[in-house]
Amino acid sequence: MNGQLPKSSGPQKELSLRATGADDAQLLITIASLGMCRALSKGQLSPDYACQRLFGPALLTRLSQMNACPALLHAIHMATELEDVADLIPDKLASAIEDIEAELLKALATLAANKPDGEKWLVRTQ
């Protein structure tokens, strides 16, 4: 397992997701992050891939700017360090992912309690 997805050889397609408002954005990020953690814990994706695609410092900065819930900020902060954990102390990777998932579930409980209204996340393309 190299944790990388295969390159597509067909025509390039685009799919867009859009969250409206800070609460909706946080909910979308939390759910996507839980999915990424699940793939990491099952060995289907590498920490390098996760950090390149989702768990980067730019996401942490954007969440900080929108005053995201503390549990989500903490989870993403820990997630940005997964590459280092995998490289330096690989035997701690599974527990690091579990810790991130626990924080994400706390965030989800808080965000889902707010039940942000809004449009579907899938953006219709013309």
Query: How do the domains of the chain map onto residue ranges?
Result: 22-114
pTM, two decimals, is 0.85
Q: Which residue in this structure is represented by tokens 């597509």?
A: 8
Radius of gyration of the chain (CA): 15
pLDDT given for residue 120 in this prediction:
81
Instruction: Give burial (CB, 10 Å; 0-12/13-18/19+) of 110.
Output: middle
What local confidence, expressed as pLDDT, does residue 1 receive?
Answer: 46
Q: How many CA atoms lie within 13 A of 67 on its CB side?
A: 1
- Tell which residue, 68, 65, 120, 58, has the closest CA to residue 79: 58
Per residue in 30-79, pLDDT tens?
Answer: 999 999 999 999 999 999 999 999 999 999 999 999 999 999 999 999 99
